[in-house]
Structure formats: C-alpha cells, structure tokens
Amino acid sequence: MRMDTALHDFEYKVYQYILQHRLIEKKDDVLLSLSGGADSTALLFVLVKLRTVLDFNLSALHFNHQLRKSALNDEVFCAQLCNKLNIQFISESADVRVYADEQKCSVETAGRLLRYHTLQEAKKVYGFSKIATAHHYDDHIETVIMHALRGSGLNGLRGIVNKTPDDVVRPMLGVRKDAILDYLQTEQIDYCTDETNAQNTYFRNKVRNLYLPALRTAYADCDVLLGHLSVQAQRIAGEISSSLAPYYEKIMVQHDAASIPIACFNEIAPFLWPYLLFELLCTLNGAPADIERKHLKAIIAQMNSGKTVWQIDLPGHLIALRRYEEFLFSNATAREEEGYSYPVNNIGQTVIEALNLSIDIQIVTNIKKPIKNVYEKYLDYDKIEGVLKLRSKNSGDIFQPLNFAGHKRLKKYFIEKKVPREQRARLPLLCDGDHIILIVGYEMDERYKITHTTKNIARVTVKELSTKEVRDA
C-alpha cells in the first residue's frame, strides 16, 4: 500500500520519521502528552491516523499547570476531543508556582519537572511502553540557543533528542512549526491558544519571540547551521558517553542521593569532569535544567581545592557534597523519613518494596567468592536467637565490628567509616531482635562470625530490586 496516497503530506512525513528512527513499533502502548495547543493537537490527529497502519495503541494525558485562568478550558477541550476520537484520556494537575517556590527553581523548570514526572508515573501505573511529546524542529533550535546562552557544554548543544532512555519519543522533531500550522488549517482542526506564549516573561518565549527572529534576519540559514551544530554535538557527546561508560556503572543511587567514588575523577582527563557530573545529576533527578556552567565550575573548583569535606548549594534544592572519598549530589529538601522496621524471613527471600531491596538467607555447606557488586555475607546461623528484621538506626545503637574486642556506638562507627551523614538515617541494618547482625553495605558484627565450632552456615545476600545492586563492603 502506498502511504502517500492515504495520508496528508504532513502525516506522511511524520510517518516516515517514525519509521526511520524506530520511535513507535508494533504493539506499543503510546501515551501522548496533550496540552490542547497546536503542536500536541496536530500530533494527536496524526497518531490517530497512524495507529492502525503501525498497529499501536494510543492514549493521552493532559497536565493542568494551574498557571492560567483559562487552563481549565484547555483541560475540558482535551477531554472532549479525546472522547470524540475514542482515545483513553487521563487528566492530572498541580500548582506549578507553589512547586517552583518550594524547589527554588523557575516556573518553566517546575512545570517541566512536574509534567514529566506525571507522565512517567502514568506510564508505570497504566503500563504504557512509550511517551510521545509534540516537540518539533523549531523547539529543537530554540533549545540549542537557550543552552548556548546559559553556557552549556556539548550535552546542551545537542538540543532535543528524538528518543530518550526513559522511553520518551518525539515523532514531530523533523517538521517545522509552519508545517504544523498549515496542517491544522488545511484539515480544519481546532486547538487551544496559550495567551502567555506571546509574553516574554519566560526565557523560551524571549528566545522564540525576540532572539531567534533577529538571528534569522541577520543569518537566513541560521536554523540549518544550528541544526548542523547540534548533530555534531550529539555525535561527540555520544563518543564521550561511550568512553565514560565504565564510570557510569560506578554511580550508586541510594534514597535521595547519587554518589560516585572521588577516585573516578582522578582517572579521567579534567575536561571530562563536567560530563561525569552531568550524568550523576541526570541519574538522580533527570536533566537538570537550572544547573548551568557556573555551578559546575564552582563544584570543580572545590574538587581541586584539596578539601575532603565540603558542600555547595545548587538550584532546585540540590546540594553537591564531598564526603572524604565519595562525591554525591543530594536532594536537600528530601524529608528525613521516620525510622522503619520490616520483618525478614529466617530462611528464604524477603522482598521489601518500600526500600527497593530483597534479602535472601540460605543455609549453605561452603563459602564461595562473592559475586561482584552483590552485598553478600556468611554468618553462623545458630547464633541467631530472636526474630530477624531489617530496620533503620535507633538512638543508642551499639555494634561490635569484626575482630574488635569491645562495642562501639553506631554513630562513632559511621564517623570512623566516613559514612555520609545524609545516608546514615536510611542505611539498612539486619537485626536479631535488638542486636545488629550486619550493616548492609558495610560490616558484620563480630558476634555472628563463623568459627571452628559453627555447624550451620547462612549466606545473606542483599540486592536492589532494580538492575543496580547494593554495593559490596
């Protein structure tokens, strides 16, 4: 079947782009981010036309930012449109201004963070395989300019990519805004107009309404040149990412922090440090829109200072810290949660979803070399007298480190082992009644070690439920 005889030229161009970049595949469950504006409305109609041809399912989610009085009208428009097209519709909302104030970030950034978080949560809850957004080529060029003006490196100069590791796809990235408007007019498709798009309050609006038109007047082919620049940046950034891949694997995410051994920075050229820092940030919170070159320079200056303990406050309630031989980014506003305690099976596996951990205890006849990157300890099973549980630290906890004659307060042990203060309250402890058997990720108590009189050996294995596993001691 010749698709160009069945589709509008615009629809066919988007179809070809989807095929070329394998953005949507057979049996995909696609969730469209639908604002009701020109771009997302156009993409909705295109995907409705293509879903039979490409054999995928389509739903839409509208996120109400609560920034305009007319926002509710947009939500109603989207709901009615999806009902007319027989598309599953999901509606969510949040007060973006309040969130921006809480996080000390721009309204633009707050809206983007909340919108993508909502989309990803919906993807998880409803089982969607892809999230489609309506970004187009003009958005891409604007983004390159915005990042350049913020002093971004290669990662920023890449602009907008057509697919991301977390399954966000942009089927219209190969088309221009004018083509979208022509399509809507030709097909007589109604859409909502955000009156704030004409206001130059937000940075993107300034770039779109002021800077980019001036550039196009001075340089007629500036869009093409900026497009070439972004392609080169994507290629070089890809090579850099490949070279840093072994170090990305050393990034550990625990609760509200992402960390990496400081030694990793000593093993790579200094010009690569910003890229490793950026990946660490993305691992924690996704692409950090408000983190600029000046912030990375401040971090690198501290890293070169020779100090082993320091802290820098960053936009969006983030902090950068060095704690002895470890560097980490942490969410400064993350609420220190109340203490926790979960029962653990004496034999077999226990899954604790709230901690994203599984703990497996098995009786074994011999001791094997631990698997790399898996926290595994062997102990005397018969020394367990009470009920096993995995809990957080309590005030006054004591612990007897291996080959140590007496006891230590857990707080003192953490200080000596240079356990970051931010991690101590949430670090899991495997306990036998009130007695600590082991500190997950660190050490086992002397009283439970295997001796010549041991009859039953227990292997304790702790893993994260995700692909990354809890580090070995």
What percent of the chain lies above the pLDDT cut of 70?
Answer: 93
Determine the average pLDDT of the residues in 352-364. Answer: 86
Choice among 164-178, 248-262, 443-457 with the minimum mean pLDDT: 248-262
- Kindly state the greatest CA–CA separation across the chain: 86
Query: Is residue 439 predicted with pLDDT exceeding 60?
Result: yes
Domain chopping of the chain, boundaries: 3-224, 250-331, 341-464
Among 258, 242, 233, smallest CA distance to 320 is for: 258
Are 356 and 466 within 8 A, CB to CB? yes
What is the predicted pLDDT for the residue at 125?
Answer: 92
Beta-carbon contacts of 305 under 8 Å, excluding residues fewer than 6 positions away, are: none
Query: Is residue 78 predicted with pLDDT exceeding 50?
Result: yes
Rounded Cα distance between 338 and 344, Å, is 19
Query: Is residue 1 predicted with pLDDT exceeding 50?
Result: no
The per-residue pLDDT for range 186-229, each reduced to its tens digit, is 999 999 988 777 788 888 899 999 999 999 999 999 999 999 99
Among 264, 238, 267, 458, smallest CA distance to 366 is for: 458
Annotation: CATH topology of 341-464:
Phenylalanyl-tRNA Synthetase; Chain B, domain 3 (3.50.40)
The per-residue pLDDT for range 92-132, each reduced to its tens digit, is 988 888 888 877 778 888 888 889 989 999 999 999 999 99
Rounded Cα distance between 402 and 347, Å, is 24
What is the DSSP secondary-structure string of 309-338? Answer: EEEEEEGGGEEEEEETTEEEEEETT---PP
Beta-carbon contacts of 269 under 8 Å, excluding residues fewer than 6 positions away, are: none
What is the predicted pLDDT for the residue at 371?
Answer: 61
Are 195 and 26 within 8 A, CB to CB? no
Q: Per the structure block, which two tokens stand in for 128?
A: 């969607």
Q: Residue 64 forms beta bridges with which residues?
A: 93
pLDDT bucket at 466, cuts 50 / 70 / 90: low
Written as one letter, the residue type at 466 is: S
What is the assigned CATH class of domain 250-331? alpha beta
Who wins on pLDDT, 36 or 467? 36
Query: Is residue 435 predicted with pLDDT exceeding 80?
Result: yes
Same CATH fold assignment for domains 3-224 and 341-464:
no
Among 117, 167, 159, smallest CA distance to 138 is for: 159
Rounded Cα distance between 191 and 43, Å, is 12
Determine the average pLDDT of the residues in 287-299. Answer: 77
**Domain spanning 3-224, CATH architecture:** 3-Layer(aba) Sandwich (3.40)
